[in-house]
Amino acid sequence: MPRSVREPRGRDMKAKTLMIQGTASAVGKSLLTTALCRRYRRAGRRVAPFKAQNISLNAAVTPCGCEIGRAQAEQAAAAGVVPTPQMNPLLLKPEGEGQLQMVVMGHAVDRAVAAAYLEQRDRLRQVVSAAIAQLRAEYELVIIEGAGSPAEINLREGDIVNMDLALRQRSPVLIVGDIDRGGVFASFVGTLVLLSEAERQLVRGFLVNKFRGDQTLLRPGLDQLEALTARPVLGVMPHIGESGLPDEDGVALERSEYRVADAGQVEIAVIRLPRISNFDEFAPLVAMPAVRLNYVDRPAALASADLVILPGSKGTLNDLRWLRERGLAQALAERAARQLPILGICGGCQMLGMRIDDSLGVEGGRPASVAGLNLLPIETQFVADKRTVQLRARIVRPSFLGSSQLGELEGYLIHHGRIRLSGCETPVPLLFETCGAQLPEGDGASSADGAVVGTMIHGLFENAALRRYVVHNLAERRGLAVSAEVDGWDRQAIYERLADIAERAIDFERLDAIIAAG
């Protein structure tokens, strides 16, 4: 690594930066940033991730109780640092009908339609600038992730996350393209053409992502691209497939295909709600060889599932209405009558209850109070204050989800809805007891026969003991013999694998020189 990259920083020095932009959404920017964070950590650098603005319903809760994009939390973990709101100062959570919940520096502060959000871009640009300034004062290197494509010329005026940020930080830019979807060379050249001259000067190279096959067949195209653009191709990343890490947004769900479980696999069906949120928590299950996880939206798809999960939602009342319109509510009721396992998480837990009261219009729609699916003995009241907290808990009521023998489990809360036992004014623990700080609301519930379980706690499947318990329990119900002891999901091992792949694929000598030159 060049000396100028590693030399000690004085108090008045700013961290070096590298910005990862893409030719489109879902080309692999987040995964590449994660790989780079781990690679530079292994190289002895104190590195931090940064994304000015996320539009995503997959969120994480930091130790300080702030809400940020799941991708930045993963990148911070890969870098071996504590995630903070400075790493993702703006998180926009779509609520449907053109509305967004704005999370600024980790806290939900407002709701806005797209036009109103654009009117605030100057104020929000200041928030972004302050956040990255703090990171650059505390770290040696900041890996900045862009959003979508920098060549969306209709959005240029409101840009605060791509080239506008690169210009303000004078950051070198690496553009990533997905060759698996086709047209990658045209995308590289077209992106460069649509940038201004000042923006083009910051683009220092390209990276081809998701390549399958013999790289020697790609060489003529790479040579022509370099000749046309006068910029190097710094690497060709292979097609990784399922990385084991959660996706940043719902684009991956649009590409998911239903597949029948193989012999010996348990089948888990996650209902693909229109406003599904925090589906990132199912990534550990996807990585288990003993599991086939499908995202489904038809009643018939529930029939063969060993477990149906009703996930979190950013529009609980609207998604509850959708369940009824699609016939899924009836299918869930029939499943419960047959004592077949159903798990509701957060919004899904609330829908399984007896009533949801949003008389304050917290979810952004008209104030309403509606009947739930009547499968759990709970009621939900939406309040303005959003609960975001990490926690440790222990199961006190055994079910297919686990027992007290699992010990302490880690998870997090992120919701406006407070649940309580139906008919009781005081919320009480129904499924879990928290370890440490007590929470003034219910945590979950189960039906009398134990077939239906709901919890307000996200992230439980990241606990190896719990996910293995669940898979073994489901397998035993069908008389299957599965091995879940080695379940294929280890967060640190995934980071290491990504860094190894990047080391082999990227010319880090040239990339380090680009970072050092700034």
The domain ranges of the chain are 13-243+494-517, 251-488
Task: Select the CATH number that applies to the domain covering 251-488 from these four: 3.40.50.300, 3.40.50.170, 3.40.50.880, 3.40.1360.10.
Answer: 3.40.50.880
Kindly write down the DSSP assignment for every residue of 52-84, as one continuous string: SEEE-S-EEE-TTS-EEEHHHHHHHHHHTS---
Displacement of CA 41 from its chain's centroid (Å): 22
Q: What is the CATH number of domain 13-243+494-517?
A: 3.40.50.300
| Residue 387 near residue 415, CB atoms below 8 Å | yes
Alpha carbon distance, N-terminus to C-terminus of the chain: 14
d(CA 64, CA 326): 40
Output the tens digit of pLDDT for each of the chain's 518 residues: 333 344 444 445 689 999 999 999 999 999 999 999 999 999 999 999 999 999 999 999 999 999 999 999 999 999 999 999 999 999 998 876 667 888 999 998 877 666 666 678 888 999 999 999 999 999 999 999 999 999 998 888 888 999 999 999 999 999 999 999 899 999 999 999 999 999 999 999 999 999 998 888 899 999 999 999 999 999 999 998 777 776 665 555 655 566 766 777 899 999 999 999 999 999 999 988 889 999 999 999 999 999 999 999 999 999 999 999 999 999 999 999 999 999 999 999 999 999 999 888 887 677 888 999 999 999 999 988 888 999 999 898 889 999 989 999 999 999 888 888 876 665 555 788 887 666 666 688 899 899 999 999 999 999 999 999 999 999 999 888 776 555 778 999 999 999 999 999 999 999 999 999 98
Which residues are part of the catalytic machinery? 346, 458
Strands of 311-451, DSSP E: 312-313, 342-345, 355-358, 368-371, 378-395, 409-421, 432-434, 444-446
d(CA 16, CA 7): 11
Q: In the Cβ-directed half-sphere of 426, how many Cα atoms lie within 13 Å? A: 2
Please tell me what DSSP assigns to residue 13: P
Q: pLDDT tens, 301-329?
A: 999 999 999 999 999 999 999 999 999 99
Dihedral angle sign, alpha carbons of residues 100, 104, 107, 111: negative
